[in-house]
Amino acid sequence: MRFYTQKHKYYCGVDLHVRTMYLCIVNQAGKVLLHRNMPCDPQKFLRAITPYRKGLAVAAECMFTWYWLADLCDRERIPFVLGHALYMKAVHGGKAKNDKIDSKKIAMLFQGGNLPEAYVYPAKMRSTRDLLRRRTYFVRKRAELSGHIQNTRSQANLTPHGKKLKYNANREGVDEGIDDPAMKKNIELDLWTMEYYDGLIRNLELGLVQTAKIHNPNDFHLLKTVPGIGNILGMTILYEIHEIRRFPRVQDFASYARLVKCATESAGKRTGTSGAKIGNAHLKWAFSEGAALFLQKCEGAKKYFARLESKHGKGMALSVLAHKLGRAVYFMLKRKVAFDIERFIKA
């Protein structure tokens, strides 16, 4: 957890919503100078902060409408800080809770150097990252349709199809043996929808690859030197990281990517782990998938994995391999060097 500790003359806490926002501006002593509810209008926001514009910094909690406010502050050269929603317990744990109280709490956390900071993803690559995440949604929907087809076959007491239905060539004859016309129609609808998703995903991927080659061609190429990391995993890692220099240490990166478990201790005794869902779920998925594909594509890694498996078991060994892969990617991007399998195995 990182706290924003830079000093400013005025601190503006914004409790942001879709159509309205509550502003609270305090000075260095914590005195409230402005406390107002107003519509989410850029010009009205700028007029409201005009008396305090020189030396003002703005903070808002991370939620889905923060983009326009961050971009506005960037254009107007106003420091903007994004509060990490999961860490802002002072806002969510109060006895009484409303927009007025929340905006003041954000401002006071900000003024006291206790605002947990989230990363403000720059506008240049943000929409592409969101589009890549949207692709994941479509892929999962296609997978749901595949699972529904298999469930329908089970309802007809038929054996599983046995082939991966995400490939169009494997869908031939998937309704064979089903006599009920309504059941056949059910599978037919699934196949039609899957075909539509195929075209949608294919078109989306082509555009994303071209954009990645424009945004950061060097890092995209470096990521693809890792066996098992292709276009999709490479783009996921590239866009979810954005800039590797924002992680001072490899431990910070591993924690952000959910590749390590955080210990909880009290009075010198370990009580377990926590924070399993704090971090970037997309990077966790990318490195987990990458570890499995790494074993398929790299012969030299199989002996190394066998040693890990004999020591930890298969599940833990895959987690260890994903963690090691994440560390390797961190240093590759930091040092701008290609993947070296010999160094990876020996390290």
Q: For the chain, which residues make up each domain, given as ranges?
A: 3-120, 125-215, 231-346
- Residue 197 has a pLDDT of 95
Integer Cα distance of 226 and 332 in angstroms: 10
Segments of the chain with pLDDT less than 70: 347
Integer Cα distance of 71 and 125 in angstroms: 13
Integer Cα distance of 330 and 222 in angstroms: 11
- Give yes or no for a contact between 117 and 4, defined as CB atoms under 8 angstroms apart: yes
Per-residue CA distances from 124 to 71, 130, 215, 280 (Å)? 10, 12, 9, 20
Integer Cα distance of 347 and 22 in angstroms: 52
Per-residue CA distances from 2 to 6, 28, 30, 83, 130 (Å)? 12, 21, 22, 10, 24
- Residue 163 has a pLDDT of 84
Integer Cα distance of 78 and 60 in angstroms: 13
DSSP 47-99: HHHGGG-TTEEEEEE-STTHHHHHHHHHHTT--EEEE-GGG-HHHHS-SS--H
State the chain's maximal CA–CA distance in angstroms: 78
Q: Which of 100, 102, 108, 105 is nearest to 29 (CA)?
A: 108
Strands of the sheet containing 32-39, edge to edge, are 3-4, 115-118, 80-83, 56-61, 10-16, 20-27, 32-39
Is the domain 3-120 a CATH 3.40.190.10 member? no
- Residue 162 has a pLDDT of 80
Task: Please report which helix (H) or strand (E) contains residue 37, including its range.
Answer: strand 32-39
Q: What is the pLDDT of residues 84-101, one digit of tens each?
A: 988 887 777 777 889 999
What are the b/e assignments for 109-137, b being 16+ CB within 10 Å?
Answer: bbbeeebbbbebbeeebbebbeebeebee
Strands (E) in 200-261, as ranges, are none
- Residue 286 has a pLDDT of 97
| CB-count burial class (<10 Å; 0-12, 13-18, 19+) for 253 | buried
Instruction: Quote helix, strand, coil % in the chain, to nearest 5.
Output: 55, 15, 30
- Residue 159 has a pLDDT of 82
- Residue 91 has a pLDDT of 75
